[in-house]
Each structure stands twice: as C-alpha cells, then as structure tokens.
Amino acid sequence: MERQHRFEEIADALSTEIRLGRTVDGELLPTERELQERFSASRTTIRRALAKLVNDEWAESIPSRGVVAKTRRATPKSSRIAYIDHYDSVHKSLFFRLHTILSQNGYELVHVDSLPEGTICALEQACQEGFAAALVWPKVGFVDAELMKRLQASMPVIAVDHELGDDTTDLVMSDHQQGACDAVSHLLKLGRKRVAISGYFTHHHDSLLRFKGYVQAHHCCNRRAYSSDYVFSSPDWGDYEDPRLLRMRLREADRPDAIFVTYDMSVPAIVEEVMAAGLRIPEDVAIVGFGNDLPFAVEQAGLSTVGMNWDLFAQTLFSTLAERLAKPELPFRRKLVPTRLIVRGSCGSPVSDWQSDPYEVSSVIVSTRLRPGSDRPGIGVSTGTLRTGGRPLITRIGQGFPSTVTSIGSKTSPISPDQGVRPIQG
C-alpha cells in the first residue's frame, strides 16, 4: 500500500518543474498514464496529486483538454525578497537603505550570493527557496531571454542598475548617460580643450551609456570628440588594468588636459600615470570620475565625481517591486534615477565651488560567518570596503552584525512617490 502523502510528493515535484520554467505556462502536463509510469504510482494517487496542483494554483484543469501549467501565482505568501549580487561587492549604500524600507513594509531582505555559481544560478536558487521576488545586480552581460522568461513566470525579477537581458525584467538604474554628460560638460565649460575618456569599458549597459554621455557632452558644447582620446584601460571588471594607451597619449604634443574616468575605482591607476608623465592634477590634467564611492584626493584636491541618489534609488526599487507584486501582468518598465555632479578639487574648479558631500563607500560583504578560531565576526577595512569573514550562499542582515555595519542606512527618509524619476525612452 502506498504511503498517504505520496500524492503530495508528486505534486511538489510537478510544481517545482513549473516554478523553474521546465514546464511553461499553458503547457499540457503529461497524461495520467504517463505520470503513473514516471512516478510508479497508482491512478488514484496521480489524480490526487493533480488535484492538489490545481488547488495550489500551479495548474488549471480544462475540460476536454487536460491539466495545463499555470505559472503566475496569486499574491506570494513569502515575505522574503532576495538581493542577488556577488558577496564581495554588495553595494552598502543601497543594500541597507533597501533593508530599512522593506522591513518597514513587512518584508525581509536576504542576500543571495551570486559569486560561486553566477547570477542565473543564484536566481534559480531563489526560486527554489520560495522567495517572493528577486532584486538582481547582474554580474552577467548576456542572458538567455527564454530562460529569463521562465524564471519571471515563477518569481518577479527586477534588475538593479544593469540590464539583465533585453526587455526581460523591470529595470531601475541611475541616469548614467546624463551623469556622464554633466561631468564632461563641466570640464569643457571650465576651458579644457581635450577631454579623454579612460577606465573600465565593460559589456554592461552602464558603460555604453556613460560613453554616450561623453560624446553627447561634446556635441552639446559644440566640441569635437577625438577617437585618439578613447584610452580605456580594461574591457572588464577585475584587478588588471592596462594603462599603456593613456601612458602614450599623455606624452604626445596634443595630449588631453582632462580625463573623464568611467568608474571611480580606476582613478588611482590613472592618477599614477598622470603623475608619472610629470603632469600636475588639476593644473595640467583635470579629472572627474563616476560613482562617488572611492574616497580619494591628490594633495588637497578631492575627487570630483558623479554621485548617485541612493535614497531615491531604494525608494524607486521598492515602489517598482510593490507594483510588480500587486500586478504581475504589467509590461516591464524601466526607470531612471537622476544623478548629480559633485564638484571637488580634481576638476580644476575654484575652491569656492567645492562641495562637501560625503563619499558613499560602495561595498560591504553581508556575511555572518565567523572567522576560523573566533567566536565573533571579523571586520577589516581595505580601500573603502568593509569585509566580514566567510561567504555563505544565503546570508541575513541583523544576525551578529557589528554596530558599525548594521547602523548604516538606519536614517533612510520615509518612502515617497518616484519624484524626479523618469522612464527610459526608447
């Protein structure tokens, strides 16, 4: 005699296949006879399993046709929201603001590490764990659209600041193009004749948008952008940068007298090249970065850079998430969050124009694993990065975190409408 709960095991196996997209929305499930053979179960057990599947809203029974998959479920029962990113680059400013907003609204933000197996595997893990939705800071440039469609069918996915495939998710991102345009326009209006662009140029969409902003600024200021001033140092993230193009360019007669750096993390290497060429910052070469996440100064000149509005970004992510959970049938939307140029000494502006905005140190590892041989989480600081020991697949905020970490983001302003946020055109 079969165990009484056998039909529940079969229903769970079938619902998992639907949730992960292996059986797509509207697809006919196998016949009762096929399921009997597959699971070595009686006809009665299979019928009870299918009835449970329908009752749990994973399938629908259609007369004269059969039982079909139903992947979009009603309002999720889980209150857990996955935040998917590499454990060593979780954006501190955004993560803790989000945690505050979500907790105030009855949700729990859980970090799911994408470093061991990649972004897509982390998404599948979140699906299997039954999360209500996933907020994803992608570390992948090219995504299978059909795979994303299947994942979206079981759990809403919202991309954070980087595209996750073409039109396969909602997207909330900073206005990278306008931010870059503002930075380069500022240099040109200060009288700089040749503005180069350097740093990382990755396959992520934000790199392309920043480059477009660089070109746009020249057009708006009636200036010409020269291809000889495109002196990128690396095609991807990582520790390796090759500054040879910039090194040669800085020693030519028509060298640039300003550099727009696509990501702040590249600034130290670029400053070294400028100084090695015997040039001064900002007198000979002005510098503006992007990110406001690297405390950096040359003499008394702090780094001029484009800063993100992380308060508004977090609020926009939450409102987008709430709308998606309430109305999963809505078309995917893209929202731009405005950026702001922060003027410090490196761009060559007079001291009276310098701004005192604090840096937003970008990365924190949100792990509660302990150091070997220790009964307390370990913290080390290196280049503006808070680090705690270990790297579990899933970690939770608020479990043994030092006060210096958990207090970050505790003063987030109340949730407000998406004022200043505009849809991406085109």
At residue 117, the pLDDT reads 85
- Indicate the pairing of strand 304-308 with strand 339-342: antiparallel
Instruction: List the single range of 41-55, 242-256, 305-319, 352-366 with lowest mean pLDDT.
Output: 352-366
Q: In CATH, what number is assigned to the domain containing residue 238? A: 3.40.50.2300
151 by DSSP, 3-state: which?
A: helix
354: in domain: no
353: in domain: no
Q: Which of 138-147, 268-277, 291-300 has the highest mean pLDDT?
A: 268-277
Average pLDDT for residues 18-26, to the nearest whole number? Answer: 76
266: in domain: yes
338: in domain: no
Q: Which residue has the higher pLDDT, 234 or 80?
A: 80
Give the Å distances, CA to CA, from 232 to 196, 206, 228, 259, 298: 9, 15, 11, 11, 22
411: in domain: yes
74: in domain: no
Q: Which residue has the higher pLDDT, 264 or 300?
A: 264
Domain final position from 22, 43, 69: 69
Average pLDDT for residues 25-33, to the nearest whole number? Answer: 89
355: in domain: no
Task: Tell me what the pLDDT averaged over the chain comes to.
Answer: 80
Cβ 120 vs Cβ 8: under 8 Å: no
pLDDT digit string, tens, across residues 296-314: 888 888 999 999 999 999 9
Largest CA distance in the chain: 89
Same domain, 122 and 183: no
Q: Which residue has the higher pLDDT, 3 or 80?
A: 80
345: in domain: no
Same domain, 43 and 63: yes
Same domain, 124 and 182: no
Q: In CATH, what number is assigned to the domain containing residue 24? A: 1.10.10.10
The Cα 386–Cα 406 span in angstroms is: 12
Cβ 417 vs Cβ 319: under 8 Å: yes
At residue 271, the pLDDT reads 93
Q: What is the enclosing helix (H) or strand (E) of 31?
A: none
Domain region containing 15: 6-69
Residue 181 in this model has a pLDDT that exceeds 60: yes
351 by DSSP, 3-state: which?
A: helix
If you search the block for the tokens 């180069």, which residue do you land on? Answer: 196
The Cα 93–Cα 101 span in angstroms is: 13
pLDDT band at 238 (very low <50, low <70, confident <90, very high): low
Cβ 295 vs Cβ 359: under 8 Å: yes
Instruction: List the single range of 98-107, 118-127, 301-310 with lowest mean pLDDT.
Output: 118-127
Average pLDDT for residues 23-30, to the nearest whole number? Answer: 86
Residue 340 in this model has a pLDDT that exceeds 90: yes
At residue 239, the pLDDT reads 56
Cβ 101 vs Cβ 417: under 8 Å: no
Same domain, 240 and 265: yes
Tally of structural domains, the chain: 3
At residue 83, the pLDDT reads 94
Residue 241 token pair? 């940068």
Enter the DSSP assignment of 331.
Answer: P
pLDDT band at 12 (very low <50, low <70, confident <90, very high): confident
Same domain, 196 and 289: yes
Decide: residue 53, CB within 10 A, 0-12 exposed, 13-18 middle, 19+ buried: buried
The Cα 132–Cα 118 span in angstroms is: 20
